Chains A and B, each alone.
Chain A
């Protein structure tokens, strides 16, 4: 797989980002938040993603006492939240293992005291509604924990995209944005290193942009 580099203009500085193998970086970014950036040697951003996303994830897990992340696709209560939570990668995968154990044939006892195991379903007469019990005991912390872990998973999808394609540079102030619009440059100074500039064309602008201004 070919390594890829990208040149961007951020805060009036030109930076060359070595994306290495973007597909591999994206995979690592999914497996463990920030790992894709560490693989690309973008250490500051890697640590930022790791701390921000994982602290959100584990705080949510702590709020929900490990009950808010579980994989269950049984009707009538499928856990669709898990699709968002799965975005965080490896930290969400024990829920799959627990689901396989509990819903296997014959069913086995969940590991780690039921951590990330789905509640017993369906609820039958003379049997405690486990999901209802979680809601009752955890109260609003069940919802908060679910929200935190879902947000962590969704944030990691942004981080995965950043590992794959680099940052999406946007204009800071309205004036600059207005100027760029007037010049017909919608890419805000972003270009690929293999893009050869035409003579007399400033970096970040293509010959087509310059001809449009004329």
Chain B
């Protein structure tokens, strides 16, 4: 698990700008008002990070198991 984390932690930072950009653009295609866009973007970002954490947990489990 630590090997998996160590191998990916530097490259994981590259995900941050992508998550921000994707969330903002997705939010903007769902709403017209800026407040609603930002609210939607925040929800999308939380969803993406949550999804990534789940995948990370599954991969860690597999890594630990094998």
A is bound by B:
yes
Interface residues of A (CB under 8 A from B): 8, 10-11, 13, 15, 17, 42, 44-45, 48-49, 52-53, 55-56, 59, 140, 144, 147-148, 151-152, 155, 158-159, 161-162, 166-170, 172
By secondary structure, the A interface counts as: helix
The count of chain B contact residues (Cβ–Cβ below 8 Å) is 22
Q: In the complex, A56→B32 CA distance in Å?
A: 22
**Known contacts A48-B24, A140-B11; A59/B29 CB under 8 A:** no
Known: A48-B37, A56-B17. A151 touches B22 (CB 8 A): yes
B29–A168 touching, CB < 8 Å: yes
Residue numbers of B with Cβ under 8 A of A are 11, 14, 17-18, 20-22, 24-26, 28-37, 39-40
**Chain B residues, Cβ within 8 Å of A53:** 21, 25
A88 CA / B25 CA spacing, docked (Å)? 13
The 10 closest A-B pairs by CB, nearest first: A155-B25, A162-B29, A52-B21, A56-B21, A11-B36, A158-B29, A52-B24, A10-B32, A10-B33, A167-B32
